[in-house]
Amino acid sequence: MTTKKRGKHTVCIHEGQIEDKQFGGAISPIYMATSYPFLDVEDKRYPRYFNTPNQEAVATKVAALENGEKALPFSSGMSAITTSLFAFLKSGDHVVFQNEIYGGTHHLIHEEFSRYGIDYSFTKGLEISDFENEIKDNTKVIYLETPSNPLLSITDIEAVATLAKSKGIVSMIDNTFASPINQTPLDLGIDLSIHSATKYLSGHSDISAGVVAGTKEHVDMIMYKGRNFGGNLSDFMCFLLERSIKTLALRVEKHNLNAQYVAEALSINPLIKKVFYPGLTSHKNHDIAKRQMHGFGGMLSFDLDIKLDAKLFQKKLNMIKPSMSLAGVESTVIQPSLTSHALLSPQEREAQGISDNLLRLSVGLENKEDILADIEQALKKCI
């Protein structure tokens, strides 16, 4: 734990930075070396060992933001997720997964787990009893994701963390949608907080990376397994990520404001059936979100009126681009029924509450009036 608690903006800017002793430059120098001293050195530096100067610099920053003891940077979010899970699992073990999770994580579980003899269950809902019901004698990990994709559902983090602790089970959360500015799950008792740093931590749609943060003991276990699996982040990318995180708190605060504005405006628009955003009092679990989040984030989704064509709507947008990724400075939109959830049948999608007219919006940092205006003009062209 950091002893002296500084503000998030200060931590984003200064924490972990490498002092340029040679020239006194204002930023961390980039150390691209893959070869470091070997003789008489205890912790031998090597990129795949997660201990080069730039890897340690960005990891220190992320650990401080998450209120963890240690963090590790990976080459993608999936690399961070896979390495974290496999560090704590072996054949014969069982994992409880929240039912609504990122599509890539879903594919990992469905396509790989049984090949390695790892058993798993998905919860039926997001209540604490739903998690409790799936726990078995051999459950080693509970994995959650809140706010979830694409419906921005909220799980009670502290309740799940307490349940896991009482059974000696390791708890992990995908904290990507919230970012460490809006949510610090380690403070609520979660063991490991994971991010696709490709999203908010990077924020400019130009870095592929992942991170995990937690206690030194847990993160060291992942580090030692990660040295076998590979998946470390290059020093140049660590430098870029460190640079991006300097404005993370600033960006996320603005994402929060813009998303709240757009969510409120859309929720009273007659051409929109329903808006899903944890910052709206109409959200099913707004109270839990208010308790466990410091801000409600830049992601929202909405159901277009049944009369409107979701594809036509996206084509009529001028500024907002239909895009696979999210969390950049630019606003983007995606239709889950045609992308992340295309492999499910319409019935399966309906059971999850994902209609064919659902759109997920990543609210960017443009002027909020311009974001809303673009949506409103596109809606009018669909009538």
Active-site residue (options: 45, 140, 156, 174) = 174
189 binds ligand PLP (CB under 6 A): no
Q: Can 174 be counted among the known catalytic residues?
A: yes
* Cis? peptide before 150, omega within 30° of 0: yes
99 binds ligand PLP (CB under 6 A): no
Strands 170-174 and 192-196, bridge-based pairing:
parallel
Q: Can 200 be counted among the known catalytic residues?
A: no
Q: How far apart are CA 169 and CA 167, in angstroms?
A: 5
Binder of ligand PLP out of 18, 63, 78, 378 (CB under 6 A): 78
One-letter amino acid of 207: I
Binder of ligand PLP out of 45, 94, 140, 199 (CB under 6 A): 199
Q: How many CB atoms lie within 10 A of CB 284?
A: 15
Whether 48 and 232 have beta carbons less than 8 Å apart is answered as: yes
Listed ranges 63-71, 170-178, 250-258, 259-267: which one lies at the site for ligand PLP (CB under 6 A): 170-178
Q: Can 124 be counted among the known catalytic residues?
A: no
Q: Which helix (H) or strand (E) holds 374?
A: helix 368-380
Whether 211 and 78 have beta carbons less than 8 Å apart is answered as: no
Sign for the pseudo-dihedral over CA of 225, 231, 234, 238? negative
Q: Can 199 be counted among the known catalytic residues?
A: yes
Shortest CB 231 distance to ligand PLP, Å: 10
| Orientation of helix 368-380 relative to helix 248-267, angle to 10° | 40
Task: Supply φ then ψ for residue 339, to 5 degrees.
Answer: -125, -95
Q: How far apart are CA 379 and CA 383, in angstroms?
A: 7
Listed ranges 45-53, 171-179, 258-266, 338-346: which one lies at the site for ligand PLP (CB under 6 A): 171-179
Q: Which residue is nearest to ligand PLP (CB)?
A: 77
Binder of ligand PLP out of 210, 226, 298, 328 (CB under 6 A): 210
Q: Which is nearer to ligand PLP, 104 or 353 (CB)?
A: 104
Shortest CB 23 distance to ligand PLP, Å: 34
Interacting positions 35-74 with ligand PLP (CB under 6 A): none
Binding residues for ligand PLP, rule: CB under 6 A, are 76-78, 102, 104, 149, 174, 176-177, 196, 198-199, 208, 210
Active site residues: 48, 102, 174, 199
